[in-house]
């Protein structure tokens, strides 16, 4: 055996089994379609390295969707003598899952069936006769609970002994056979409604559902702010002010305060001391922005988002938002990438793959990268405009929301192609597995640290070098007048627009020392959000949309940013 | 036989007919500006994969207002279906 293929319907816990087998950390969520790209990892069984592939979730082996085409490809390309298929089955949904199982059994591959979510069958009143099922399928059947690791040892033991089952069933008989198997192996007792099931009913109820969604989103926002502000106020700012500040001052004295190195590393003194927002040295503002201003919000955002994901609330929100999302030509599941984009636009753009058609993906990705500010930006906008309270913050987000709708509506009129209707499974509510949840948050946060921290430091370095070399003066003189006329911003703000290609949080940070008025800050924040995605987002946008669509998206971005900026300039 | 759109909620319904390919139900909900068809070409099979086929007993749980999606339950599984798609599923109430 050289290869293991993990097959199963969407949202049956394949990714969690994959993590158990390989130790490779990937993100498992309680909504269908988390894994659209396949993942490959390695495991050791009987001292041999074996490749494990997490195939995207499929309902059948017929290539009806992009995910199913990928699945089919693996069946075609693998050698049946060296490959074992693990079919992960949701044991609370045996009947629907068996369709794929029978198809897999009819291939030449050895198949092992895992009855995952085994712990949930008990409180759902489901009894499955495992021995009987194994006899009927002529394949090993193992009950598992992926998140706790129950059954994984047994799986490892049986993997090397798996043999093809010589099962053969004609396409038209599959569902009949499924019916027969279910009759012989499964008993479902009626059971009382659990608290979670009552919540399930409320959250998709036409009237109560909207109220419930309002409460959930409001609480989410509140908790994100509470944790974010708490971490900044009680942990990160004190660390910078009381521990890092004095160290930097000593270092500054050592460097002597008027040479170039001092300007690059520590920056300008504001009122005779280091101001972490305004000094703009690599070691002062450069470290402060990603760690003390942005990281706390990244942590709190992903903590809350992961709870919404793992409980299974997002598909329900998708159902409620379906009509609204059709305003911009995409169906309800489009809310998932949109929410992800608030953390960072990169995973947001990647998640547009859960949409079926090119039209939907183009609209979703464009609208998102124009009008959804990532957490790093939001944190900085709050940092700059927070002192004006709701008067300063609200105009930014209301404008961006209007832009989201208007551009989305316009695009849905003019972009050709299909907008399919929503057709998705709604998984049951699950209590999040806390350790798994924390791991996921950590994974996403460490991704931010790895990807963003170097970019911010480089960004601040470049800003300083450009200032020193006179480059910023040069471009402000060329583009400055244009900017001043249209947007009403001082010529120096052009530097921020320039750096915004690299990192938007740094760019917004650059506005701090300019002494802008509230109106100018609002205009600059909106324009900076809209005019172009940061380099990381641009790269994934290019990968997902290809050249022409990226070009279209870029033209829309630049022109709409200038237009909206001009309008805001007229207002303020 | 009535379409799933008109069926009563919270009673067992047996699926009688699933309109397959083509553009079943286009315009029923006025959903989406353009297109149609493409996403539904394999409608019958997509339904079948999710367990919706002739003879299945399903329960309509709710219908979102303003032509929003319909929620149905099959066994232990809940599925959200757009109105156009739902209109191509014909059902009958299970007689006691």
Over residues A484-500, the pLDDT tens digits come to 889 999 988 888 888 88
Separation in Å, CA of B47 to nearest CA in chain A: 9
Nearest CA in chain B to A320: B64
Looking at 3.20.20.70, 2.10.69.10, 2.30.30.90, 3.30.2020.30, the CATH number of the domain B2-93 comes to 2.30.30.90
Nearest to B69 among A59, A322, A417 (CB): A322
CA-closest candidate to residue A536, choices A451, A434, A422: A451
The Cα–Cα gap between A199 and A426 comes to 13
Instruction: Name beta bridge partners: B91.
Output: B2, B15
> Is pLDDT at A197 greater than 90 in this prediction?
no
Of A133, A160, A188, which marks where a domain is finished? A188
User: Residue B28's pLDDT is what?
Assistant: 33
Nearest to A95 among B34, B51, B83 (CB): B51
- Do A456 and A317 lie in one domain? The reply is yes
A433 in a structural domain: no
Q: What is the mean pLDDT of residues B70-82?
A: 89
Mutate to test the interface with A, among B18, B20, B21, B33 (most CBs of A within 10 A): B33
DSSP strand E in A18-169: where?
39-45, 48-54, 83-90, 111-116, 126-128, 141-143
Contact A326 B71 (CB under 8 A): no
- Do A159 and A259 lie in one domain? The reply is no
The Cα–Cα gap between A540 and A451 comes to 13
Per-residue pLDDT of A107-137, as tens digits, reads 889 999 999 999 989 878 899 999 999 999 9
- Do A372 and A521 lie in one domain? The reply is yes
The Cα–Cα gap between A250 and A248 comes to 5
Contact call for residues B62 and B9 (beta carbons, < 8 A)? yes
Chain A hits for B49, CB-CB cut-off 8 Å, are: 59-60, 64, 99
- Do A218 and A89 lie in one domain? The reply is no
**Alpha-helical runs (H) found in A35-88:** 66-77
> A399: which 2 tokens?
């404008």
Confidence tier at A141 by pLDDT (50, 70, 90): very high
A289 in a structural domain: yes
> Is pLDDT at B21 greater than 60 in this prediction?
no
User: Residue A481's pLDDT is what?
Assistant: 87
**Does A62 contact B at CB distance below 8 Å?**
yes
The Cα–Cα gap between A375 and A339 comes to 11
- Do A162 and A218 lie in one domain? The reply is no
A402 in a structural domain: yes
A440 in a structural domain: no
Chain A hits for B66, CB-CB cut-off 8 Å, are: 323
- Do A47 and A157 lie in one domain? The reply is yes
Contact call for residues A560 and A529 (beta carbons, < 8 A)? no
- Do A253 and A126 lie in one domain? The reply is no
Separation in Å, CA of B15 to nearest CA in chain A: 14
A431 in a structural domain: no
The Cα–Cα gap between B30 and A273 comes to 63
Of A188, A223, A256, which marks where a domain is finished? A188
Chain B hits for A175, CB-CB cut-off 8 Å, are: 48, 53
> Is pLDDT at A408 greater than 70 in this prediction?
yes
- Do A52 and A112 lie in one domain? The reply is yes
Mutate to test the interface with A, among B23, B63, B77, B86 (most CBs of A within 10 A): B77
| Residue with the larger pLDDT of the pair A88 and A175 | A88
Looking from the CA of A163 toward its CB, the CA atoms found within 13 Å total: 4
**Does A359 contact B at CB distance below 8 Å?**
yes
* B33 phi/psi in degrees, rounded to 5: -70, -45
- Do A155 and A237 lie in one domain? The reply is no
Mutate to test the interface with B, among A93, A420, A424 (most CBs of B within 10 A): A420
Domain around A118: 3-188
Separation in Å, CA of A332 to nearest CA in chain B: 9
Nearest to A319 among B38, B46, B80 (CB): B80
Contact A421 B69 (CB under 8 A): yes
Q: How does A539-559 read in b/e, with b if 16+ C-beta sit within 10 Å?
A: ebbbebbeeebbeebbebbee
Contact call for residues A152 and A142 (beta carbons, < 8 A)? no
A506 in a structural domain: yes
User: Residue A31's pLDDT is what?
Assistant: 62
> Is pLDDT at B49 greater than 80 in this prediction?
no
Contact A318 B49 (CB under 8 A): no
Q: What is the mean pLDDT of residues A421-450?
A: 87
Q: What is the mean pLDDT of residues A447-453?
A: 86
- Do A104 and A168 lie in one domain? The reply is yes
User: What CATH number did the domain enclosing A166 receive?
Assistant: 3.40.50.300
User: Residue B29's pLDDT is what?
Assistant: 33
Contact A420 B38 (CB under 8 A): yes
Confidence tier at A270 by pLDDT (50, 70, 90): confident
Contact A96 B62 (CB under 8 A): no
The count of structural domains within chain A is 2
Q: For a pLDDT cut of 90, what percent of chain A falls above it?
A: 55
A443 in a structural domain: no
- Do A175 and A242 lie in one domain? The reply is no
Spacing of C-alpha B13 from chain mean position: 11
- Do A280 and A166 lie in one domain? The reply is no
The pLDDT mean for chain A works out to: 90
A195 in a structural domain: no
Mutate to test the interface with A, among B49, B57, B60, B73 (most CBs of A within 10 A): B49
From the number of C-beta atoms within 10 Å of its C-beta (0-12, 13-18, 19+), residue A59 rates as buried
SS3 sequence of chain B = CEECCCCCCCCEEEEEEECCCCCCCCCCCCCCCCCCCHHHCCHHHHHHHCCCCCCCEEEEEEECCCCCCEEEEECCEEEEECHHHHHCEEEEECCC
> Is pLDDT at B25 greater than 80 in this prediction?
no
Chain B hits for A125, CB-CB cut-off 8 Å, are: none
Q: What is the mean pLDDT of residues A224-232?
A: 94
Contact B61 A424 (CB under 8 A): no
Is this structure's pTM higher than 0.90? Answer: no
Contact A418 B82 (CB under 8 A): no
Q: Report the complex ipTM.
A: 0.81
Domain chopping of chain B, boundaries: 2-93
Q: What is the mean pLDDT of residues A16-45?
A: 74
Strand, coil or helix: A34: coil
């Amino acid at each position: 055996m050289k290869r293991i293929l993990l097959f199963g319907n969407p949202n049956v816990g394949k990714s969690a089994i994959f993590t158990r087998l390989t130790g490779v950390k990937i993100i498992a969520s309680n909504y269908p379609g988390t894994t659209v790209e396949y993942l490959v990892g390695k495991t050791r069984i009987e001292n041999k390295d074996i490749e494990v592939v997490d195939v995207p979730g499929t309902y059948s082996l017929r290539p009806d969707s992009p995910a199913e085409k990928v699945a089919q490809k693996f069946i075609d390309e693998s050698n049946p003598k060296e490959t074992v298929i693990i079919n992960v089955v949701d044991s609370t949904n045996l009947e629907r899952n068996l369709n794929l199982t029978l198809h897999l059994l009819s291939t030449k591959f050895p198949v092992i069936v895992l009855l995952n979510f085994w712990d949930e069958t008990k409180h759902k009143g489901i009894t499955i006769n495992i021995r009987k099922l194994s006899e009927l399928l002529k394949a090993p059947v193992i009950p598992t609970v992926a998140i706790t690791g129950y059954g994984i040892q047994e799986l490892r033991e049986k993997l090397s002994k798996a043999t093809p089952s010589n099962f053969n069933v004609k396409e038209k008989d599959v569902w009949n056979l499924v019916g027969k198997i279910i009759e012989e192996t499964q008993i479902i007792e009626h059971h009382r409604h659990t608290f979670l099931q009552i919540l399930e009913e409320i959250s998709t109820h036409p009237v109560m559902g909207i109220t419930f969604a309002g409460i959930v989103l409001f609480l989410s926002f509140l908790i994100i702010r509470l944790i974010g502000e708490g971490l900044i106020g009680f942990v990160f700012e004190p660390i910078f002010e009381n521990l890092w500040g004095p160290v930097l001052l000593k270092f500054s004295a050592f460097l002597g305060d008027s040479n170039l190195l001092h300007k690059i590393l520590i920056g300008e003194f504001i009122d005779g001391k280091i101001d972490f927002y305004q000094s703009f040295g690599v070691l002062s503002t450069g470290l402060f922005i990603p760690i003390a201003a942005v990281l706390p919000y990244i942590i709190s955002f992903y903590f809350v988002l992961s709870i919404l994901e793992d409980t299974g609330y997002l598909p329900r929100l998708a159902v409620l938002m379906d009509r609204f999302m059709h305003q911009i030509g995409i169906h309800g599941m489009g809310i998932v990438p949109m929410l992800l984009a608030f953390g960072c636009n990169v995973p947001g753009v990647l998640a547009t793959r859960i949409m079926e058609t090119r039209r939907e993906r183009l609209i979703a990705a464009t609208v998102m990268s124009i009008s959804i500010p990532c957490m790093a930006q939001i944190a900085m906008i709050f940092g700059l405009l927070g002192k004006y309270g709701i008067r300063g913050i609200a105009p930014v987000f209301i404008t961006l929301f209007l832009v989201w709708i208007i551009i989305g509506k316009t695009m849905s009129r003019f972009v050709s192609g299909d907008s399919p209707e929503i057709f998705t499974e709604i998984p049951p509510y699950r209590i999040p597995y806390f350790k798994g949840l924390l791991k996921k948050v950590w994974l996403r946060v460490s991704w931010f640290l790895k990807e963003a921290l170097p970019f911010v430091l480089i960004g601040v370095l470049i800003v300083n070098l450009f200032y020193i070399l006179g480059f910023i003066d040069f471009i402000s003189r060329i583009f400055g007048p244009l900017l001043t006329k249209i947007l009403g911003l001082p010529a120096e703000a052009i530097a921020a627009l320039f750096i915004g290609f690299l990192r938007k949080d740094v760019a917004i940070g650059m506005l701090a020392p300019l002494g802008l008025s509230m109106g100018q800050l609002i205009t600059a924040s909106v324009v900076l959000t809209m005019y172009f995605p940061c380099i990381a987002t641009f790269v994934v946008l290019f990968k997902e949309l290809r050249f022409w669509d990226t070009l279209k998206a870029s033209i829309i971005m630049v022109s709409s940013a200038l237009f909206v900026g001009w309008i805001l300039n007229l207002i303020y | 036989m009535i379409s799933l759109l008109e069926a009563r909620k919270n009673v067992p319904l047996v699926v009688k007919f699933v309109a397959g390919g083509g553009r079943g139900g286009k315009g029923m909900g006025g959903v989406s500006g353009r297109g149609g068809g493409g996403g539904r070409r394999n409608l019958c099979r997509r339904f079948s994969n999710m367990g919706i086929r002739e003879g299945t007993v399903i329960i309509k749980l709710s219908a979102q207002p303003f032509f929003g999606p319909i929620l149905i339950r099959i066994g232990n599984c809940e599925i959200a279906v757009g109105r156009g798609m739902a209109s191509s599923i014909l059902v009958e109430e299970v007689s006691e």
